[in-house]
Structure 1
Amino acid sequence: MQHDSGDGHVTLEVADERDLPAFKQELQEAFSAALTDEIGSVPEQAIPSGDDIEQSFTAPGAATYHVLLDGRRVGGVVLSIDPVSHHNSLDLFYISLRQHGRGIGQRAWRAIEARYPETKVWQTFTPYFEKRNIHFYVNKCGFRIVEYYNAHNPLPHRPPLEGMPDDGDFFRFEKIMQEER
């Protein structure tokens, strides 16, 4: 893993449906690496599944971007934007494995916040075993853990994911940008 000063300009570029196959493959590769680190292998079904990625990519309110470093694609993000409540969600986010450890994720997150300054609350989820993600969201981006999903408090609106470590437990994070009035 390469560590440097984090030089380079990080921007967001709108992705469209033609980008979905490459986006899906890169995202699954990034997520699979974390699973391999945790359990030594990847479940037969890719995580997240291709269907889950496509649903996020095409959902109402979805905003999908490539993360660019000096104009070169190095990651991607799918957001759910609610223009009425301004309670927005970070649904999928990845940085290419070859680019980890360079501060690109943190700079990409700042670019996302700058693009949506009217956001009151950001929300995201990550698996319990994803220590790198937990560190990133809490210590680098300013999120707080607000809920723990497990067998006694299952994730709403979705069945447990098969083949996940720690029985598929998840955290829900929030970052309050503007206090509600």
Structure 2
Amino acid sequence: MTNQTVSLTIADPDDLLDFKRELQEAFSVSVIDEYGALPDGPIPSNKDLDNSINAPGAVALRILSDGKKIGGAVVTIDAETHHNTLDLFFLKVGEHGQGLGHKAWLAIEARYPQTITWQTHTPYFEKRNIHFYVNKCGFKIIAFHHAKYPDLQQPAPSDLPDDEGFLFEKVMR
């Protein structure tokens, strides 16, 4: 565990190319570990990232540690219902295992104190993410999506070899 401070800032539009590249690099590590190689193109695709970043209510956040960019997140905030989603969350390659992800998540929670629930997804093969969300951040698994039980609200990315994944929820109050 590190003593570094973690903070958030709105991602600067001039930084979005680096933001997306760093996110794709971070996501690629586990895809390559699981499947041996990336499918055609980066994971997630530039189109999927642009759709997520530009969705109604979406906020792209930069995660900073002592002022240095170490990752990012895209959240969707529903100001009326306060049922929000964590759409994308990443630490740059080399920044894992220091407690920074947990500090970043706590900063996100603090930034949106009106939140009633948070939901997020992760692929089935992402054991590290499952551990992080359930054991570190207090989410509960509320659904397991697969071919016979697809997620109709958020279809699986077309760039992954399978469509199995977990839906998590954290009730804040």
Short-chain TM bin: over 0.9
After superposition, give the CA deviation of every residue in 1:39-65 in whole Å (9 maximum; x if it has no partner). Answer: 221111321111111111111111111
After superposition, give the CA deviation of every residue in 1:131-165 in whole Å (9 maximum; x if it has no partner). Answer: 00000000000000001110111122555545635
Q: Which amino acid aligns with 1:57?
A: I
- The match for 1:40 is 36
Map residues 1-181 of structure 1 onto 2, 5 A cutoff. Answer: 5-157=1-153, 160-162=156-158, 164=160, 167-178=162-173
CA distance in 2, matches of 1:94, 1:67: 9
After superposition, give the CA deviation of every residue in 1:61-90 in whole Å (9 maximum; x if it has no partner). Answer: 111111000000000000000000000000
CA distance in 2, matches of 1:75, 1:141: 17
Cα 1:62–1:160, aligned 2, differ >3 Å: closer, same or farther? closer
| 8 A Cα contact 2:44 2:159, kept in partner | no
Identity of aligned residues (%): 51
Q: Which amino acid aligns with 2:141?
A: I
State the TM-score, normalized to the length of structure 2: 0.95
Unaligned runs of 5+ residues in structure 1 are none
Unaligned runs of 5+ residues in structure 2 are none
| 8 A Cα contact 1:20 1:54, kept in partner | no
State the TM-score, normalized to the length of structure 1: 0.91
Q: Which amino acid aligns with 2:63?
A: V
Count of paired positions: 173
Any runs of at least 4 consecutive aligned residues in structure 1 with deviations exceeding 6 A, and if so which?
none
CA RMSD of aligned residues (A): 1.4
